Amino acid sequence: MAPPPHGRLLLRPLLLLAAAAAASTARADDLVAELQSLRARSPSGVIHLTDTSVTRFLSGTAARRPYSVLVFFDAASLHSKPDLHLPQLRTEFALLSASFLAHNPGSGDLFFADIEFAESQHSFHQFGVNSLPHVRLVRPEHATLGGSEQMDQSHFSRLADSMAEFVESRTGLEVGPIVRPPLLSRNQIILLGILFLISIPFMIKRIIEGETLLHDRRVWMAGALFVYFFSVSGGMYGVIRHTPMFLTDRSDPNKLVFFYQGSGMQLGAEGFAVGFLYTLVGLMIAVVTHLLVRVESLQTQRFVMLAVMVIGWWAVRKVIYLDNWKTGYSIHTFWPSSWR
């Protein structure tokens, strides 16, 4: 039995909507499949985009683009500027992409891409990028490229690890641990092993004769100073967290920031500065307790002690000032009640 005429009129728009939805879904699946194919051709999984591919893959609504793309903006002409760290950040971005792909093989929810300024200036303009380094996350709900979310400069502090935290917090996807290449290749390890085996007889001979560096007191003293400086300067924190030595000033890209105000992050330069002050005071105390007591001249002893006291007071004052400036914590002086 055929439906009445008015039923056919109501059924036609529904069929058109269903057909349009199916076509949109098929087109979205085609885009995902094409991105996966481009990703498979890249060693790190980073897709290189141009103005044409940006329009194709990053424009449209969530129905047309049901995936997120993290975009790294690069400029080969600025790689020579050491303060921007573009080559290093690009390498860390590739590690982030490779790590995500290793822990999420075949994922169609997130892709990593880069855009080069010389060949895609129009895309830079569409995103509103006017300074580097710059990373943007384009999510499905972003209707325009300019409305995408920019990664804050603080997420560059620990390189790929802090970038991964940004991705996980914004997309809800798990990147997983960053997979870094080994420091030495297999052939290099084999070569070092062969050289070590060859040198064993020579090392045994020098150990028996007591002519190795381990028998030199100056080496042990230098090693102790290095361990002390490395400890008090936060060197291990910098190694674990991959903290940069300095940052670029946001207000003036030509200026460098060596001291970061705030307890959330520590730069390598400020750690080494404070570590130098600590080491300076420690060395002066060692000189007073081990060398100055052997000097016979009383006048020399008094002069050196006065210089040590002045320099020590200056160093401690600098450490307290930097701690107060960075964290807001201040040290208060308390006098004995009998002195009031």
pLDDT tens digits for 90-125? 999 999 999 999 999 888 899 999 999 999 999 999
CA distance 268 to 270: 6
Pairwise pLDDT comparison (64 vs 133), residue with the higher score:
133
CA distance 8 to 221: 94
Residue 277 pLDDT exceeds 60: yes
CA distance 313 to 294: 24
Q: What is the mean pLDDT of residues 23-31?
A: 65
Check residue 23 and give its pLDDT: 40
- How buried is 277 (Cβ within 10 angstroms: 0-12 exposed, 13-18 middle, 19+ buried)? buried
Residue 331 pLDDT exceeds 80: no
Task: Give kind and range of the element (H or E) at residue 112.
Answer: strand 110-116
Asked if residues 46 and 72 have their Cβ atoms less than 8 Å apart, the reply is yes
Asked whether the CA dihedral 155, 160, 165, 169 is positive or negative, the reply is positive
Q: What is the mean pLDDT of residues 311-336?
A: 82
Encode 293-322: b = buried (16+ Cβ within 10 Å), e = exposed.
Answer: eeeeeeeeeeebeeebeeebeebeeeeeee
Mean pLDDT of the chain: 84
Residue 156 pLDDT exceeds 70: yes
Check residue 4 and give its pLDDT: 57
Q: For residue 157, how many other CB atoms are within 10 A of its CB?
A: 20
pLDDT band at 322 (very low <50, low <70, confident <90, very high): confident
Report the interhelical angle of 298-327 vs 268-290 (nearest 10°).
Answer: 160
Q: For residue 120, how many other CB atoms are within 10 A of its CB?
A: 22
Residue 318 pLDDT exceeds 80: yes
CA distance 315 to 143: 55
Check residue 302 and give its pLDDT: 92
Q: Identify the CA nearest to 311 among candidates 339, 279, 336.
A: 279
pLDDT in tens, 204-248: 887 787 777 777 888 888 888 899 888 888 888 777 777 778 877
Task: Give kind and range of the element (H or E) at residue 224.
Answer: helix 217-232
| 29: Cα separation from own chain's centroid | 34
* Integer-rounded Cα radius of gyration of the chain: 31
Q: What is the mean pLDDT of residues 300-327?
A: 89
